[in-house]
């Protein structure tokens, strides 16, 4: 390349770097999820679409007539947001909630026409694209409101822009504080380019036995609603209830925002026995296969670091799933998988791509046998079920993390039983 051509390229690159995000067309790139048609390894997640519809019907029994806006953050809690959204949209869900603009783009590109609420609040320079794609932003400070108002005033988008205003009722994460709320109400009331369609907050402790904090949050939310009304703002949609709130019938206002309950997983801790919703169906099942079986003498070590030592002659099966697939490494030497309808304990350290099981007590285990990591299995030795909550308890985490950690290299298969 000549010196002159090199200088021209350098200038072009510098000009591009000086451009703000709003100066350029925004192209959102997402990691490609493994496609079922491309799968060679038999590790996969099976999503029961009928269970999703059944869970939605069950939730409606608790909503007291409120509109249901399904929360599909984090790739639909690991289930694959586009397929889940299409199923729920056809089943009559009223709208969807996502955390990121990128997640909303994925739903729109999948043909979803229902309203999409973008709750994260970090919009960078995509305000125009959000409005053009028919997404509704959540706002909680004047800078966000001003950015949308400027786009309307400049004629870039048609107004007014519909927004949902978030208030902080006691979680100290996002939302306008009650101290700052009067100021933002005054500013919005004078800003005709922005229309507050909704008022929202988020429960911090609705899954706990003690309802005191939740009741306190509801009282603060009502105070905020009245403050808006006195300022001439009367949102059509007030919403605060998550899955736990819905099931406890706390905060069922104009709309509710269930997430994990739609996928058949309880939002309550296992200690809360007798909570509503035991009839929900876990919608996802993760399975893999045995790829090797070996006889191991007593006293031999298994896996990285030799963290497990056999105390008897043992049969060790290697299965094709590891922490890169979303299996928590904290399951090393704890927890089980299902083989032939029987529990096989995990032994040794969970590897990146593989995990070992002690199948000594299970007769006839062979290469290509199905292994269930999450969900149920009917085998010739019986039936058993491993829940997301069980895995979470062994790994010292919560079911939400178990589900959302299932990696994109595990293909999702969708079925109608």
Catalytic residue ranges: 73, 304
Among candidates 169, 108, 111, which has minimal Cα distance to 136?
Answer: 108
198 within 8 A of 164, measured Cβ to Cβ: yes
Bridge-based pairing of strands 116-118 and 135-139 is parallel
Spatial neighbors of 20 by CB under 8 A, at least 6 apart, are: 125
Dihedral sign for Cα 96, 99, 103, 105, please.
positive
**Alpha-carbon span 313 to 299, nearest angstrom:** 8
Alpha-helical segments (H) within 205-344: 212-230, 243-247
**Alpha-carbon span 341 to 133, nearest angstrom:** 47
Residue 389: in which H helix or E strand, if any? helix 388-395
For residue 51, what are the CA distances in angstroms to 116, 247, 281?
23, 18, 6
Radius of gyration of the chain (CA): 25
DSSP letter for each residue of 218-255: HHHHHHHHHHHHHTT---SEEE---HHHHHTT-S-SSE
**Alpha-carbon span 148 to 163, nearest angstrom:** 9
């Amino acid at each position: 390349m000549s010196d002159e051509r090199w200088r021209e390229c350098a200038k072009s690159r510098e000009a591009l770097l000086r451009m703000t995000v709003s100066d350029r067309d925004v192209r959102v790139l997402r990691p490609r999820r493994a496609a079922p048609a491309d799968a060679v390894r038999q590790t996969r997640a099976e999503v029961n679409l009928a269970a999703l519809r059944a869970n939605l019907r069950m939730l409606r029994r608790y909503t007291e007539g409120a509109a249901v806006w399904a929360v599909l953050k984090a790739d639909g809690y690991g289930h694959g947001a586009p397929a889940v959204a299409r199923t729920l949209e056809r089943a009559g869900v009223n709208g969807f909630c996502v955390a990121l603009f990128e997640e909303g783009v994925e739903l729109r590109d999948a043909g979803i026409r229902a309203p999409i609420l973008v709750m994260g609040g970090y919009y960078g320079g995509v305000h125009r694209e959000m409005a053009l794609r028919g997404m509704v932003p959540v706002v909680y400070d004047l800078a966000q409101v001003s950015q949308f108002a400027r786009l309307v005033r400049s004629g870039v988008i048609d107004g007014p822009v519909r927004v949902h205003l978030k208030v902080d009722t006691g979680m100290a994460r996002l939302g306008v504080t009650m101290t700052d709320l009067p100021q933002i109400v005054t500013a919005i009331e004078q800003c005709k380019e922005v229309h507050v369609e909704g008022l929202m907050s988020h429960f911090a402790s609705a899954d706990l036995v003690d309802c005191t904090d939740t009741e306190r949050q509801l009282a603060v939310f009502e105070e905020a609603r009245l403050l808006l009304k006195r300022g001439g703002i009367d949102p059509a949609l007030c919403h605060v209830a998550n899955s736990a709130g819905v099931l406890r019938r706390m905060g069922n206002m104009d709309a509710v925002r269930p997430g994990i309950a739609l996928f058949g997983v309880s939002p309550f801790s296992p200690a809360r026995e007798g909570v509503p919703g035991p009839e929900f169906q876990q919608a996802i099942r993760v399975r893999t296969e045995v790829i090797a079986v070996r006889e191991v003498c007593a006293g031999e070590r298994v896996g990285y670091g030799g963290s497990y030592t056999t105390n008897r002659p043992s049969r060790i099966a290697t299965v094709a799933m590891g922490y890169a697939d979303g299996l928590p490494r904290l399951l090393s030497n704890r927890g089980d998988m299902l083989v032939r309808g029987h529990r096989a304990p995990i032994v040794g350290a969970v590897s990146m791509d593989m995990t070992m099981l002690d199948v000594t007590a299970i007769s006839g285990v062979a290469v290509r046998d199905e292994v269930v990591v999450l969900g149920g299995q009917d085998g010739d030795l019986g039936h058993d079920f491993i829940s997301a909550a069980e895995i979470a308890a062994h790994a010292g985490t919560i079911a939400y993390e178990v589900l959302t950690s299932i990696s994109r290299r595990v293909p999702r298969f969708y079925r109608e039983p």
